[in-house]
Amino acid sequence: MKPIRHLNELISVVKSREKRTLAVAYGQDPHTIEAIGEAVADGFINVKITGDETKIKKVAEEKGVDYSQFEIIHQPNEIDAIKTAVNIVRNKEADFLMKGLCNSANYIRVILNKEKGLISPGEIISHTTVLEVPTYHKLMLCADVAVIPHPDLSQKVKMLQYTVRIAHRLGIEMPKAAILAAVEKVTSKLPATIDAAIISKMQQRGQLKGVLVDGPLAMDLAISKESVKIKGIKSEVAGDADIFIFPDINAGNIAYKTLSHLGGASLAAIVTGANVPCILTSRADSDESKFYSILLGALLS
């Protein structure tokens, strides 16, 4: 499989596979309904959607979406709607999960429930955003911009491993991962640089497979060959990174929102570490972003 370099290439890949079923939690907002409506109409997925049936139908009618193509499970309470959607996945009546209008914290909390959630022992919940930025020559896989506030070393390793798996499914056989910090030199004043150096050494010693890693790298060194040349850095990753592991959620969230709102980036976003792909986009994200996220979830399920 050739590496996917544009998010719309997911369409042909997903179309060639067996149709998946998506469970949507509290899916009564216009962007979600438009996105799932497009995906169902194009024949990519089947949909089971929980939420207030009256509101779902009303929004669908306003947006010109045929709601008869969805299986609607009436559950007007937000928490109960999330639990119902998760239970549908647990019962193998759906292959992956999607957040609708519900609060992200509530969505994650139900997924994390040890008895009735979607998490296995030893795993953590993280998040990967796949960005298509017009000024970069390939997709950018970014972690974590939405879930873990201050990841420690072990969490960053997990974030990297989850994101590497996504890269492989996107046809990137040996992704290049930049462990980001404000500077490229290791210093005790910036603990993120120490974590980055350790993760880089772990890869060099064979503890991390299927990926090339370098860090710490400042963002300019991760993406700009000119910066690499000017600074005299020798690296297999610098200037050509596929994966970007951010030092914390502040850096990641600011970067992804800047790229999407000012940089014209398109995106797909997915919760990682759960037993099935769990789509998590912002309630303010466009129907395009949600559509691409559905395609990514279908690819990974």
**CA 94/CA 24 separation, integer angstroms:** 10
How much is the pTM? 0.94
List, for residues 243-258, the tens digit of each pLDDT value.
Answer: 999 999 999 999 999 9
pLDDT of res. 288: 86
Characterize 190-202 residue by residue with b for buried, 16 or more Cβ atoms within 10 angstroms of its Cβ, and e for exposed.
bebbebbbebbee
pLDDT of res. 285: 67
Characterize 218-251 residue by residue with b for buried, 16 or more Cβ atoms within 10 angstroms of its Cβ, and e for exposed.
bbebbbbeebbeeeebebebbbbbbbbbbbebeb
Mean pLDDT of 192-210: 97
CATH no. for 122-271: 3.40.718.10
List, for residues 4-48, the tens digit of each pLDDT value.
Answer: 999 999 999 999 999 999 999 999 999 899 989 999 998 889 999
pLDDT, averaged across the chain: 94
Mean pLDDT of 42-64: 94
pLDDT of res. 284: 63
pLDDT of res. 255: 96
List, for residues 149-184, the tens digit of each pLDDT value.
Answer: 999 999 999 999 999 999 999 999 999 999 999 999
**Cα–Cα nearest to 36, from 2, 69, 62:** 69
Query: How much of the chain, in percent, has pLDDT values that exceed 70?
Result: 99
pLDDT of res. 22: 97
Mean pLDDT of 206-219: 97
Mean pLDDT of 270-295: 86
pLDDT of res. 263: 94
Q: Where are the domains of the chain?
A: 1-119+274-301, 122-271
Contacts of 42 (CB under 8 A, 6+ apart): 11, 15
Query: 285 and 31 in contact (C-beta within 8 Å)?
Result: yes
pLDDT of res. 1: 78
pLDDT of res. 149: 95
pLDDT of res. 249: 96
Alpha helices per DSSP H over the chain: 10-15, 30-41, 53-62, 78-90, 104-112, 153-169, 191-204, 219-223, 225-231, 249-261, 287-300
DSSP secondary structure code for residue 35 in this structure: H
> Domain spanning 1-119+274-301: which CATH class is it, in words?
alpha beta
Query: How much of the chain, in percent, has pLDDT values that exceed 90?
Result: 89
pLDDT of res. 286: 74
